[in-house]
Structure formats: C-alpha cells, structure tokens
Amino acid sequence: MKKQVLAALLILSLLLCACGSGQNENSSPAAASSETAAAVPSSSPEDASVPGTTAFAGENVQTGGRDAIGENGVVATGREDATQIGIDILKAGGNAVDAAVAIGFALGVSEQQSSGIGGGGFMTVRFAQTGEVVFIDFRDVSGAGASLDHYEVLENGLVKDQANKIGALSIAVPGEVKGMLYALNTYGTMDRQTVMQPAIDLAENGFTVSHITSRDIKDAYPQISLFDATAAIYFDEDWMPWEAGAVITNPDLAATLRLIAEQGEEVFYKGEIAEKIVAAVQAEGGYLTLEDFANYEINVTEPVHGTYRGCDIYSSNLPSSGGTIIIEMLNILENFDVGTMDPESAEYFHLLSEVMKLGFADRSAYMGDPRYVDVPLSGLISKEYAAMQAARIDSTKAGDYTEGDPWGFESESTTSYSILDKAGNMVTVTKTVDATFASALVAEGTGILLNDTLVDFSLDPESPNVLAANKRPLSSMSPTLVLKDGQPLLALGAPGTTRIITGVMQVISKVIDHGMDIQDAIDAVRMHDDFGTLILERRVPDSVIAQLEAMGHKMNTGEEWFTFPCVQACERKADGTLKGAADPRRDGKALGY
C-alpha cells in the first residue's frame, strides 16, 4: 500500500513540478536534458558550518572562499571532500590522472545523485611531456533490447509513467568503471587499491549531507520512495529525507568498490556485480542482460579541436555535442569585437543569445552517435562556416533561426571537475547518472544508483538521436582544455544539460576576451538561450532587461543565480601561478598545494 500511495504522489508531483530537470532534451524545444540535478533552491536559511561542505543558501550565495592557489597543483570539484581526496593523491606522488580517478570514485559516493559507477561520462586529458591530448568516452550505452516499442508516448509527447526516466526501462549499461580504470591503467602511476581506498572509506564511514544534497533528496522524494534499496540509503528511520549535517553511510557500495579494487573491471562487467545489476533491472521489468554488460566498450579518440583568438580549444568529441557546439559558438563570436563590450550590457547579452540560438539549431539538426548518423563535424567547427553564421545576426533585434548548411564546409544531474599540476598535465572530467537520482533504482546488495540515460534519446524516429540498440545518446557534457602559446591556460567543465555548453563557452570568452580571473569569470552574470527564451541571472539593471525585451527577446529572469551550470575550473596564469576556481552555484570548492 505504501508504494501505491507513493506512486500516486510521484505522478502528482511530476504534474505539478515545472523544473524540467529530468525531461529528455530532445522531447520538445522547451524541455531540458537530464544530465544534471536541476533542483529548486531551498528558501530556508542555511548554516555554513555544516562540515565538509560549502554553503549554498538560495539567493544568499556564498561567493567567497571557493578558489585556491597552488604551487604544485590545484583541484576543483563540486564537493570539498572529493577535492581534498584529489589533493591528497597529488601530495602522495600521484599524477593528475591518478587524482582524477580517485575523485571520480569519491564523487560517486558523496554526490551519487549526480554521478557514480551506475553512470558514465567523458574525460579530456593533456600530457605535459608529449603535448598529446586524448578524449576518453565512457558514456552509457543502450542494451541490445532497446526499442521505442517499450514506451507509450502520450499526446503531449512525453512517455507514459515517465518510463524512459524512472525505473528499469530508463537504464543503459554504465561506462564509468571501465572508463576510470582504463585511464588509471593507461595513464596513471598508482594502483587501484590506492586510488579507490578513499572512496571506499567515504562509503563505509559516511559523508556529510550538504544543503544541496538534502535539497536534492527532498526534490526526488517520490521517485526514491518507489524503491526500498534506494530509500534505505537516502531516508532516515522515519522514512524522511536526510537533513543537512546528517551522515550517510553506504556499506553495500563500500563492498562493491572493494570488489572492484581487488578484481578490476571484470567483476563489474562479467562477474557478480553485473549479475546483481541485471537481476535488479529485470526484476523491475527491464531488459538489460549479462551480454550487454560483457559487450560494453569505451572509446578513446582525439578530442574535437578548434581555436579562439589564438588559443587552442580541446573538448569533447561525439557522441557529445558539447565540444563541437562550443567551438562553433566561439568561432561565431570571433567575428565580433567582444572585448570592447560591457559584459553586463544588452549589446553583449543580445550577441550571446543570437550565437547560442544558431549553435543549438545546428545541434538539434545534425548531431547524434556517429555510428548511426553522418555528422558534418569539420563543417560545424570551420571558421568559414562561422563567418557565414555570424552574418545572419542582426545587432538590433532577436532572430529566429533554423539550422545552417555546414556540409559545404566539410572535410569531415552530472558532475564535473578539473585538475592542473605544475608540470602542465591537465585533466577535466564530466560524468553523470543523468537526472537527479537518475532512475531512482539502486540495485539490491550493490549500493549502486543506476542511471536513466535512455531519457537522453529522442522519441522522434526521424531524429539523428533516436533511441536504438547498442547506441550512445547525444550529450552536452563538455570537459574542455584551453592552451595559449602551447601552454596550459584553462581546464574546465560543468554539469547542467544544454547549459553546460553555454556556461563553458561564456567562461572561456570572459577569460580570453575580457581578461577576467577564472573565479571572476565563473561568478559573473550568466545567461542561456537555446530555443528562443533568453534566460538571464537577475543581477543586472532593469534597464538592460528592458532593452533586451525591446529588441524582441522573450526574457526569463527569475533567478538571481542559476542552479546550474556549475563550472569547476583550473587556470594557469601568465606568471605560472596555478589557480583552482569553483562555482558558488553549488557545493564547489577548489584546493591547492
């Protein structure tokens, strides 16, 4: 009876809630992707003294104390406990990849609502000794049984009972374990036990619930309540969400991580962990099989590469759209004298809005898993195509754009963290279980919260991103590296659905065009526009908003600070100083040594 009542509550809450964090970004122009936790900030006062966290208090955002300087290395993540683990690995003699892997497993414990070994992601790495840059794709993959036939699509375009978002029919084969261990084995210097032990300890001894985590649990209460194994972790003995300051332990996850540390990826993809996950999914009506797990492979490729005002940009390649569209947007911006514009003026926000709309029109039309669709990649990132796109912009009024024609230029809730060391090694990772608390299904006996990655596929059979068997869905995740004169400048990334793309692009532009310090660039007023509504943080004069409305922009200025994207970045300054910077829009914290 309890589950029936809670199921009714879930349906009611989904009807009432307009936050859209878990909707498929391809289901309608107004719908957001579910690669992040897009939650509503709490209006209650929050205490900055909660240990191990950095306070986030609705509109009373704490902007100080997020950044850090380091002589030997800097780390920026969305959780202070994970940042400290990364610094400890560097201090112990590990390299940037060792730290990245340790952080990845740790965030999968203390920020499991956003990422973890039940999900996947991307890593972009630059090696100082050789200058080589690699892109590791460990995105989740649909099973062999994936089909649109599993879902009943309603007249409003959404799936009945949100079956592609909540529960077993939303789950793809997770890639994180294989991706992290590949990076460690190929580019790291430490053993599995050393880099995984901090995460094991965190799961066994517990982590402190931040205000953000408590808020996320409360927002996902109806979904979590549907699955006993999930509720046992995230609810107290009275079946209520944990409050900030509580300590959550996850002994099943600690045991799972210990098995992986001892036996490697085989136990996750071909051993007892795979067996438990498949059993849990099939018991809830899903179709994943042991063969799906055994067949999972990562992809290691070159990142997509472009330039912006003489700086080299390396970012996520397909199946992420992020790197390509970031470079396309920057290429268009390069046709304008952005540095002379006031970064809080109507002129500036108008230009960014037009550039964003042009980029997203192309993203929607052309991008998907390259094994299933031809993508005009080199056309989209060409300077000539960008100049043609720039010519479509009217400086006096808002435009309504369809996709351009890049073929003629062809020669062809989420977390993010960044690491930069003194030698010049750079790592940035963006990874996810998709929506906040994902499918909400924890596989019994594993402590693993499983992804809802299948919601990132389109339901439109004509879309290049339509659901198909053994396919990676389109993503916006954009772990990005920027070099100037061949030397590290920025390592950055963010969670935040399609806002990842625009958030990363704006931070890069502010550092290069306006000469901003990285923390100032992250803290600056941010905007987003993908389908014709200019969403702007309301920290600008009313006169600016009025000017934009007069230019024809449909405005949304409801938030003083966005809840996402939350950019975590590292910068190497001209004098060689290393600086980590973290986003005050979430629990971000940078540390250095």
pLDDT score for 20: 32
pLDDT score for 6: 45
Measure the CA–CA gap between 103 and 85, rounded to whole angstroms: 6
pLDDT score for 34: 34
Output phi, psi for 475, to 5 deg: -135, 160
pLDDT score for 448: 97
Which residue spans within 238-357 are E strands per DSSP? 247-248, 299-301, 304-308, 311-315
Measure the CA–CA gap between 335 and 493, rounded to whole angstroms: 24
Please provide the size of the chain in residues: 593
Helix then strand then coil, in percent of the chain rounded to 5, is 35, 15, 45
Nearest of 93, 83, 89, 52 to residue 197 by alpha carbon:
89
- Per-10-residue mean pLDDT of the chain, 593 residues long, equals 42 35 34 33 39 46 86 93 96 95 96 93 93 94 94 88 93 97 96 97 95 91 94 94 94 98 97 97 96 97 94 91 92 96 96 93 81 80 90 88 55 76 92 90 96 90 88 89 95 88 95 96 94 90 95 91 90 92 91 93
pLDDT score for 336: 97
Q: One of 83, 124, 194, 414 is an active-site residue; which one?
A: 414
CA 544 to chain centre: 30
> Facing residues of 491 across strands?
481, 570
Measure the CA–CA gap between 121 and 172, rounded to whole angstroms: 13
Interhelix angle 499-514/346-366, rounded to 10 degrees, is: 140
**Structural domains in the chain?**
301-415+477-592 (3.60.20.40)
pLDDT score for 401: 67
What's the angle, vertex CA 79, arms to CA 76 and CA 81, rounded to 5? 100
Q: Which residues contact 548 (CB under 8 A, 6 or more apart)?
A: 346, 349, 350, 353, 534, 536, 555
pLDDT score for 364: 82
Output phi, psi for 40, to 5 deg: -90, 125
Known catalytic membership, residue 414: yes
